[in-house]
Chain A
Amino acid sequence: MRPSAWLPLAVLSACAVCGAATRPHYGGTLRVEMRAAPATLDTATPDAAPLASLVFEPLVRLDASGAPHPCLAISWQHDATAKRWQFNLRPGVKFHDGFALVPAAVVASLRSVLAGAVIGAAGDTITIRAERPGPGLLLELAHNGLVFARDAEGALVGTGPFRLASWEPGRRATLAASADYWGGRAFVDAIELQMGRGLREQLVDLEIGKTDIAELGPAELRRAAEHGRAVWSSAPLHLIALVFAPGHAADPRLREALALSIDRAAMHSVLLQKQGEITAALLPQWLSGYAFAFPTAPDPARARGLTAELPASARVLALSYDPAIPAGRAICERVAVNARDAGLTVQVAPQNAKADLNLVEVRLPSLNAVRALVDIGPSIGLEALQPVGPTPEALYESERRLLEDFRAIPLFQLPDLYGAAGRVHVFQPPAITRMGDWRFENIWLSGAAP
C-alpha cells in the first residue's frame, strides 16, 4: 500500500538486464506489441496514450516520486494563490514537420485539455489561469497536456523523440527516430508496432523472439520472469471493479451483501499473482493517499445476514465480463463462489448485455486526483460528481459518497506490465513511467549496427 510499492518490481526489472554490456548502441528496430487497437494516433484517444507519449510531449513531466520536471517548458512560476501560472517555452524545439514550436501551438493544444482555464501567450511564455488553485495543473499538464500541431496535410505532428512514419488503423504502425530531437536522438532507428494482439499471443511472440516488448497479464508475469525476460511495471493504473447496471439490483441490501462477500485477498494472491493492489476505492492509493481507508476485508456473516433479509427470488444476479480484462473470467468465477457462500447465486457469462452487473476495467484518466475522480464516476455509470474540493479531505468525502450505495464495488488496481527481450537495454530508466507512458527513446538494442 505504500505509494512507492510498484518500485520493487521496477528494480527487479533493472537487474534482469544486468550483465549486458557497455555504452548504448545506436541502430536497429524495436518491435513492440500491444493489446489496444487505436484507430488514430490522437492525443485524446485513451487507447493510444502510451504510444502517443513517444510522438507528443507535454510542458512538464513527472519523475518517479511525482515531482515535476521540465519538458517543453524549461521553467514555470505561479502567483501566491497557485492559480495564475506562467510557463517559459524551451527554445529551439521543432515539430516533426520542421516548423518551430511556437506559443500559439501550445495554447491551441491545451485549450481542449484544460476546460475552464484561461490560456494565453506572450512572447515565449504561456500563461494559464487555472480553474482551481494548487498543483493539480502541473499534474494535468504532465498527463494530458500533450502539445501538437497539424502539418500541411492536416495530420497531427508532435515534438517527441519519434515521428509517425506509417499508420494502419488498429493494426500496425511504424515510428522513426527524430534525428534532431531536442533531447537527443533515440538510440533505435525505428519502432514497429503491432496492435490488437492478445496477451497470450504477445507472450508467445516474446518467447520465440518475434517481438522485443510485449504486454503481460498478471498470470503471465511469472512465466516471463522465469524465462529470464526483463519485466517492467507502471504504478497501478487500471481499476477493476464490479458495477451494477442501471435499474438492476435495486435493493441496496443485495448490493451490500455481494460487496461484503468478496474475498479480494485470495483473488489477488492466486489469480493476479499479487500484482497491483487490493482496493475498495476508485482512486489508487498512490494518487489519493487515503484508499486504505475504504475497508476491503470480507464480512461473510453480515453478508449472509443481509441475504437472509431478501426474498429468494432476489438472490440471483447475472454477472458479465469483458474477455479482454486480464483474468476477468477467473475473477468473476471467484466472485460467484464467494457470493454462494453468502447465499447469493451469481451466474457468470461473457459480454451479456442484460446482466445485472459487469466487471469493468477503467484506466486512470488523469494524474489530477480531482479530475480523475470526476471522470471515473460517469465512465462506469455512477452519477456525476458535484464540484469536488481539491483537498484530500474533500476528495475522500466525495469518493465515499460515490461508493456508499454499493452500485460500484472496486476490487483491484492493476499496473501496466511488460516483458522485454534479452537484447533490449535501457540507458536511463525507466522505459515505462509511473503513468504507463513509453520512454522508448531510452532503449537500445544489443547487436544493433549503427
Chain B
Amino acid sequence: MVALLALDMGGAARDLARNVAAAVAHDAVVLTVRNLSTLGAGEVAEIRRAFEPELRTGGATEVRLTISENLTQFLLVAEIHRGGEREVLLESWPRTASPSRTGPKGAAAEVRLVKRLLWEQAQPILDVAVLDDGILVLDGERVLLAHGADQQSVPIPALHPWPRDMRGRLAVNPPTFTAWLPGTVCRGSVAAPISIDCRESQEPWPLAPGAQAALTPVRNYFEGRVEIAAWGAREVPAFYAAAPAGDAWIFAGVEGRAHIYTRDWEPSGSIEQWGSDVAGVETPCGPRILATRPASLAEPDAIQPYELIDGAAQPAGAALEFAGPITALWSAGNSATAVSRDLETGRYAAFSLAPACGS
C-alpha cells in the first residue's frame, strides 16, 4: 500500500506497459488510447510514450488503454482483446491537488469608468483601501497590508458566526484603520507591525462620505437608522446599499427595487432594473450613481453609471463588464471600489473604478 501510494504517473505507465507486454507475450498489437480523466494532453502523450518501447505495433491483438480517475486516484486500464479473449489490467497512482485553472479576466471596457485591478486573492475580498505605499485588504479572516511583495496580515477573531453573504467595510486614516464587519468593529494600525483590536459592536458603517448606517447583525443588509450629515437621521426600510445622487439619496432595497429619497426624506420614485449594489461617485461633471444590474450570482455582472435627471435615473455611460458577479461595491469619494468573483477561476479581484468624465 505504501509503495503504491508513492507511485507516480510515469511509474504506473511503465509498470502497466510491461505487464501488457507480458500478457500479449510480446506479440505485435494495435494500441488505442482514450482519456476519461482530467489529465491534460501533455500527460496523455507521456503515458503513450511509456508504452512505445514495450509494445510492437501492427499485429492483430488490440490493446485499448483508458486513462481514468476516481475520487482519490488516477487509473490506467488496459483492455486486451486477443481472439475471443478479453483481459483487463490496471495500474493506479494517487491524485494530487488539481492544477489551478486560469481563465480570461474581465475584458477591458470602452466606457467612462476606468477599471484598475488593485488586488486579487482566493478568499472573498470585502473591501480594500489604497495607501500611499501599499494597499490594505479586508476579508472575513484577516486584514492584509501589502507593500509590493512585502505582506503582513493580522487575523480577525471570530467573535460570533458570520453571515453567509459576508460584507465588510474598511476606512484608513494613516496610521490607523477601522474595519467594520457584521456585529464587529476592528481598529488597528498600519504602522509596522500591523496590529488590530476587534470587539463586538453595532457601530454604524460608513455608506458614503457623510452617511452611515448599521448593518443588521448576522444578515447582509442595513436596517433602521440612517444618518446623513446634511439631512439628519431617519428610519428607512431595509436596504443593501445607498448612494448619494446630488440632492437625493438612492437606497437599494432588499425587496429588489432602488428607492429615491429627497432631502425631506420623502420617497420620490423607485427603480426596478438595478441590482442590489449601488455607490455614488463625484466626477468633474457632477455626481453619478454606479449600479450593478439584476444578475444572479451565477453569471457575470456589470456596473453602469447613471445620473439622476428630473427624479429619474438615466444611463450616463456604457456598462463596465466583469468576469463574474459583483460581490461588493463601495463609494471611495471620487472613485468606487468593486469586488468581483471570476467565474472561471473562482478568485476574487478588487478594482478601483475611476470615472473618466467626457473622455
In-complex Cβ contact of A184 among B86, B164, B256 (8 A) = B164
Distance from B268 Cβ to chain A, minimum over Cβ atoms (Å): 22
Interface pair B90/A185, CB less than 8 Å apart? no
A23 touches B277 (CB 8 A): yes
Partner of B164, one of A22, A183, A295: A183
Report B-chain residues with C-beta under 8 Å of the C-beta of A67: 97-98
Given A21-B256, A450-B254, does the pair A180, B90 have CB atoms closer than 8 Å?
no
Asked whether any CB of chain A lies closer than 8 Å to the CB of B240, the reply is yes
Give the distance in Å from the alpha carbon of A21 to the alpha carbon of B276 in the complex. 8
- Write the B57-90 contact mask toward A (1 if CB under 8 angstroms, else 0): 0000000001011111111010100000010101
With a cutoff of 8 Å between Cβ atoms, the chain A residues found around residue B36 in the complex are 1-3, 285, 292
B266 is an interface residue with CB less than 8 A from chain A: no
Interface of A is mostly: loop
- Give complex CA distance A49, B162 in Å: 27
Contacts of B70 in A (CB 8 A): 3, 66, 286-289, 369, 392
B161–A183 CB distance below 8 A: yes
Known: A65-B98, A290-B77, A292-B66. A185 touches B254 (CB 8 A): no
Q: Indicate if the CB atoms of A187 and B91 lie closer than 8 Å.
A: no
Size category, A interface: 35 or more
Known contacts A4-B38, A23-B240, A180-B161; is-contact A18 B220 (Cβ 8 Å): no
Contact: A26 with B220, CB < 8 Å? yes
- Which of chain B's residues have a CB closer than 8 A to the CB of A449? 255
Segment of B23-31, B188-196, B294-302 in the binding face:
B294-302
- B275-A22 in contact (CB<8A): yes
- The interface-forming segment of A203-211, A219-227, A346-354, A421-429 is A421-429
Say yes or no: B72 contacts A23, CB within 8 Å: no
Contact A180 B160 (CB under 8 A): yes
The reply to whether B276 and A23 contact each other, CB–CB distance below 8 Å, is yes
Complex: A369 Cα to B216 Cα, angstroms:
46
Determine if B299 and A81 form an interchain contact, defined as CB atoms under 8 angstroms apart. Answer: no
| Chain B residues whose CB sits within 8 angstroms of the CB of A441 once the complex forms | 164
Complex CA gap A259/B185 in Å reads 68
**Chain B contact surface mostly:** loop
Query: Are B4's CB and A289's CB within 8 A?
Result: no
* Residues in A whose Cβ lies below 8 Å from that of B275: 21-23
- Residues 243-278 of B at the A interface (beta carbon under 8 Å): 254-256, 275-277
A367 to B72, CA, bound (A): 11
Cβ-based interface call for B92 (8 A): yes
Shortest distance from the beta carbon of A37 to any chain B beta carbon, whole Å: 31
| A293 beta carbon closer than 8 Å to chain B | yes
Residues of chain A from 44 to 101 with CB closer than 8 A to chain B in the complex: 62, 65-67, 80-82, 92
Q: Is the C-beta of A24 less than 8 angstroms from some C-beta in chain B?
A: yes
* Set B1, B68, B165: member contacting A292, Cβ < 8 A: B68
Q: Is the CB of A293 within 8 A of B98?
A: no
| Among B158, B163, B240, contact of A92 (Cβ-Cβ < 8 Å) | B158
Measured CB to CB, the nearest residue on chain A to B299 is A18
CB-CB under 8 A from B77, the residues of chain A are 289-290, 292-293
Least CB separation from A446: chain B residue = B256
A186 to B277: give the CA distance in the assembly, Å. 21
Of the residues B164, B292, B296, contact of A19 by C-beta under 8 Å: B296
Is there contact, CB below 8 Å, between A182 and B161?
Answer: yes
A15 to B238, CA, bound (A): 28
Q: Which residue of B is nearest A132, CB measured?
A: B1
Q: Beyond A3-B70, A186-B164, A391-B92, is A293–B79 a contact (Cβ under 8 Å)? A: yes
Can you name the residue of chain A whose Cβ is closest to the Cβ of B275?
A: A22
User: A450 near B221 (CB under 8 angstroms)?
Assistant: yes
Residues in B neighbouring A183, C-beta threshold 8 A:
161, 164
List chain A residues, Cβ under 8 A from B295: 18-19, 21-22
Chain A residues within an 8 Å CB radius of B4: 391
Q: In the assembly, what is the distance between CA of A391 and CA of B164, in Å?
A: 39
Asked whether, in the complex, the Cβ of A3 is within 8 Å of the Cβ of B37, the reply is yes
Range, interface on chain B: 35 or more
Bound-complex Cα distance A428 to B341 (A): 12
Interface flag for B219 (CB, 8 Å): yes
A133 touches B2 (CB 8 A): yes
* B117 at the A interface (CB under 8 A): no
Contact partners of B166 in chain A: CB under 8 A: 184
A426: chain B residues at CB < 8 Å are: 297-298
Q: Mask for B161-174, Cβ within 8 A of A = 1, else 0?
A: 11111100000000
Q: B215-227: contact bitstring with A at CB < 8 Å (1 yes, 0 no)?
A: 0101111010000
Q: At the interface, yes or no: A342 with Cβ under 8 Å from chain B?
A: no
Kindly state whether residue B5 has any CB partner on chain A within 8 Å.
yes
| Central interface residue in B37, B164, B254, by most chain A CB within 10 Å | B164
- Interface residue ranges of A427-442 to B (CB < 8 Å): 427-429, 441-442
With A3-B36, A23-B220, A392-B70 as given contacts, are A17 and B296 in contact (CB-CB < 8 Å)? yes
Q: How far is the CB of B101 from chain A (nearest CB, A)?
A: 11
Q: 1/0 contact trace for B85-111 toward A, CB 8 Å?
A: 010101110100110000000000000
Q: Which residues of the other chain, B, contact A135 by a CB distance below 8 angstroms?
A: 71-72, 94
**Which of B92, B161, B255 counts the most chain A CB atoms within 10 A?**
B161
Q: Which of B68, B94, B292 contacts A289 (CB 8 A)?
A: B68
Point out the residue from A23, A139, A369 that lies within 8 Å of B165, measured CB to CB: A23
Task: Report the minimum CB–CB distance from B163 to chain A (whole Å).
Answer: 5
Name the A residues within 8 Å of B255 (CB-CB).
25, 449
In the bound complex, CA of A187 to CA of B261 (Å):
28
Q: Which residues of A contact B (CB under 8 A)?
A: 1-4, 14-15, 17-26, 62, 65-67, 80-82, 92, 132-136, 139, 179-187, 285-290, 292-293, 295, 367, 369, 390-393, 396, 400, 425-429, 441-442, 446, 449-450
Top 8 A-B residue pairs of the complex, sorted by shortest distance between their CB atoms: A289-B70, A66-B71, A22-B276, A184-B164, A21-B294, A23-B276, A289-B75, A14-B298
- Residues in B lying within 8 Å of A, measured CB to CB: 1-2, 4-5, 36-38, 66, 68-75, 77, 79, 86, 88, 90-92, 94, 97-98, 158, 160-166, 216, 218-221, 223, 238, 240, 254-256, 275-277, 292, 294-299
Cross-chain pairs A/B with CB under 8 angstroms, 30 sampled: A14-B298, A19-B295, A19-B296, A21-B294, A22-B275, A23-B221, A23-B275, A26-B221, A67-B98, A81-B1, A132-B1, A133-B5, A134-B72, A135-B94, A136-B72, A180-B160, A185-B161, A289-B92, A290-B90, A292-B36, A292-B66, A293-B88, A369-B70, A369-B71, A391-B4, A392-B90, A392-B92, A393-B92, A449-B255, A450-B221
